[in-house]
Structure 1
Amino acid sequence: MSQSQQLHELLGEGSEINIVCHNNPDPDCLASALALGRIAAAAGIDEQQILYSGDISHQQNRAFVNLLDIDLEPFEPATLQNRQPDSLLAFVDHSIPGQNNAVPPETDVDIVIDHHPAEDIDARFVDHRAELGAAATILTEYVRTLDIDLDADLATALLFAIRSDTLDFLRGATATDYDAAGYLHESADQEMIRQLSTPSISGGTLDAISTAIDNRIINGAVLISHVGRTTERDALPQAVDYLVRLEGVQTAIVFGLVDDTIQISARSPDARVNVGNVLNETFDDVGSGGGHHDVAGGEIPLGIFADYTSDDTQLLEMVEQIITARLFAELNLSEETGE
């Protein structure tokens, strides 16, 4: 029995499904959730929710939700506590309870569909393909093999997700990703793809990127910077995507204060550096970090830092010193820096 058939059979046992996105979901996660909902409906599940934690703050992600009219609900632990016996719990684009999601650890999960590096995934149905460029590629395969109705919205969501997660097929794209995109292309709304690809940028995001440019320090081929305090969480990946293009830079890491956390975003086209491992090893004892070898992120609760001082300037100085020192140590860099 194929994986798509196994999934369809499991869905046939349920009366409802809760599809949980990872924190601050991106197009790949959102499109995968939308597709799984369509597959669940075809299997006879009318009661379904797409749940998320954090924010949908990136201008592209907001446009994605609005243009495709994706129905989302904030995740509440009570939702899982009050589940019926035949209610199914699914993760898309992430895999472990309590890691990059608000689901309590040790929660039983029914369905996991993911392409991020992970170990010890435990669920009744697991499709984990770390070699693929996007989770949406896996869902496209299911839509195709199960003959799910592929309307313009679903095709557009999945195609844009694959393009987004592979940086227009420049990062981690495989023949399978290309094949999925080719299948989706004819049914997708190309004008909507264009709109999603060129969203407006907020003043707060522009300010954060500017701050990251000003605060950059370079050690060899490694650039580290921060955006200060910002309400624009998704300005960090946009800043690091910009800075990693600087001549001579092979690894870029940007952090910043967002609410009561330190958010971190990293990029590295350098095959010798696995930034997912770097962030995990550097901050595993105080927070969480991980991702792919070339794209990664992390989050650290401010905790004792916030208790120590209410002065944001002093707080940022402390955070900058400690985060930079830890990264230098993990990357075996000296304290001497360039710009």
Structure 2
Amino acid sequence: MTESSHPQTVANEGTSSNRADGTSDDVGALFDLLESHDSLAVVCHNNPDPDCLGSALALEAIAEACDVGRVDILYAGEITHQQNRAMVNLLDIDAVQYAHDRLASTELVAFVDHSIPGVNNAVPPDYVPDIVIDHHPMEGVAGTFVDRREEVGATASILAQYLRVTDVDVEERVATGLLFGIRRETLGFMRGVTEAEYDAAEFLHPFADVDLLRRLSDSLFTPATLDSIAEATRNRVVRGSALVSNVGRTAERDALPQAADHLLNLEGITTTVVFGVVGDTVHISARSRDSRVDIGAVMRRTFDDVGNAGGHKDMAGGTLPLGLFGILADESDELCSLVGETITERVFDSLA
């Protein structure tokens, strides 16, 4: 199937009709679509996290139950976070690097945990995927089957519901992957959790490997990650209840969200933004537990004109090409520090 032949109708855009009530026409529509094709590429977002990986693993199992002959899980970027690496290894997730030619060689293309081509993925911006399953707030989502529910706390909860309302056998590794994805996305059911996550956990728990879940949760982080978190702690700038920190150049991209989570525990702090330069890109992670702050909207408002940014009310992130600031990747740390000061002031101005 070519790019231009992909239909652009929306089956379930932002609705909540696919509930675990055993009577979901929309889930049936997904199965009908899968059963009429022989190959599927499940495209993860860049640097996929447990919610994305668990959802991809579940969609792979559903596709195989629908007799799809070949299923590929694709991702761009890297899988470097210690828990993400452990998840891929221990659950034997066969994820391979994304390449454009893979889109042309498969009949169906699915996005999980993201929804817009070219935004936090390597897919060309003019491409229209066949299947989109996501929980992030986005506009202009198109596809043959779209299930986007921003009122749900994790994409894995949506996939768990698909399994619950069908007769697909729930494999231990799939249940474990989904449950771990939900736990990580909600920080152990403490952030952005909804009734859907509790329902999914209740359904998945009997099928999951609890000992393996514990091993995934206890995955050790590297000394370099600890150093980056320490750098974020040392460089913090606090104004009121907001904290912004610049870790400078780092190879530990996944340390940024960990630092943002860690610093949110500081007394008097309700919003954190941590950023650093990874290669030729500024990566940003943001968190908030202030009911007055929609940190996803703040990130979009602050950086959409110079990069990709967005997320949820309590958790968000973004990327900015370093070249936009006139700084090349091999230039001095002093110049990158000036970029950091610019970003810091921009964040505080937006929060104000």
The normalised TM-score by structure 1 is: 0.94
C-alpha distance in structure 2 between counterparts of 1:232 and 1:257, whole Å: 10
Shift of 1:311: 3.6
Aligned twin of 1:335: none
C-alpha distance in structure 2 between counterparts of 1:33 and 1:315, whole Å: 40
Shift of 1:166: 1.2
Aligned twin of 1:240: 260
Answer whether contact 1:251 1:266 (CA < 8 A) is retained. Answer: yes
Aligned twin of 2:30: 7
Q: Does 1:296 align with 2:316?
A: yes
Change (3 A) 1:308 1:121: closer
Q: Does 1:260 align with 2:280?
A: yes
Shift of 1:315: 2.4
* Paired AA for residue 266 in structure 1: A
Percentage identity across paired residues of the two chains: 52
Answer whether contact 2:296 2:317 (CA < 8 A) is retained. Answer: yes
Range with bigger deviation, 305-314 or 100-109 = 305-314
Which blocks of at least 5 consecutive residues in structure 1 are unaligned? 333-339
Q: Aligned pairs, how many?
A: 329
* Paired AA for residue 25 in structure 1: P
Answer whether contact 1:306 1:315 (CA < 8 A) is retained. Answer: no
Among 208, 212, 215, the alignment partner of 1:195 is 215
C-alpha distance in structure 1 between counterparts of 2:84 and 2:99, whole Å: 21
Answer whether contact 2:283 2:320 (CA < 8 A) is retained. Answer: yes
* Paired AA for residue 142 in structure 2: D
Among 133, 152, 174, the alignment partner of 2:194 is 174
Shift of 1:304: 4.4
C-alpha distance in structure 2 between counterparts of 1:308 and 1:297, whole Å: 22
Q: Does 1:96 align with 2:116?
A: yes
Among 73, 88, 91, the alignment partner of 1:68 is 91
* Paired AA for residue 105 in structure 2: R
Change (3 A) 1:308 1:107: closer
Aligned twin of 2:175: 155
1:272-327 alpha-carbon deviations (Å, 9 max, x no partner): 11111111111111111100011000100111446468443212212111101211
C-alpha distance in structure 1 between counterparts of 2:155 and 2:343, whole Å: 31
* Paired AA for residue 219 in structure 2: P
C-alpha distance in structure 1 between counterparts of 2:328 and 2:110, whole Å: 40
Change (3 A) 1:38 1:308: closer
> Residue 164 of structure 2: SS of its match in structure 1?
helix
Aligned twin of 1:120: 140
Answer whether contact 1:208 1:228 (CA < 8 A) is retained. Answer: no
1:72-101 alpha-carbon deviations (Å, 9 max, x no partner): 110011212x335xx001000000101110
> Residue 207 of structure 2: SS of its match in structure 1?
coil
C-alpha distance in structure 2 between counterparts of 1:106 and 1:230, whole Å: 32
Q: RMSD value over aligned CA atoms? A: 1.3
Among 33, 37, 52, the alignment partner of 2:60 is 37
> Residue 49 of structure 1: SS of its match in structure 2?
strand
Change (3 A) 1:45 1:302: same
The normalised TM-score by structure 2 is: 0.91
C-alpha distance in structure 2 between counterparts of 1:50 and 1:302, whole Å: 29
Aligned twin of 2:82: 59
> Residue 303 of structure 1: SS of its match in structure 2?
helix
Among 66, 69, 83, the alignment partner of 2:105 is 83
Answer whether contact 2:192 2:314 (CA < 8 A) is retained. Answer: no
C-alpha distance in structure 2 between counterparts of 1:184 and 1:309, whole Å: 45
Answer whether contact 1:236 1:255 (CA < 8 A) is retained. Answer: yes
* Paired AA for residue 29 in structure 2: Q
Aligned twin of 1:47: 70
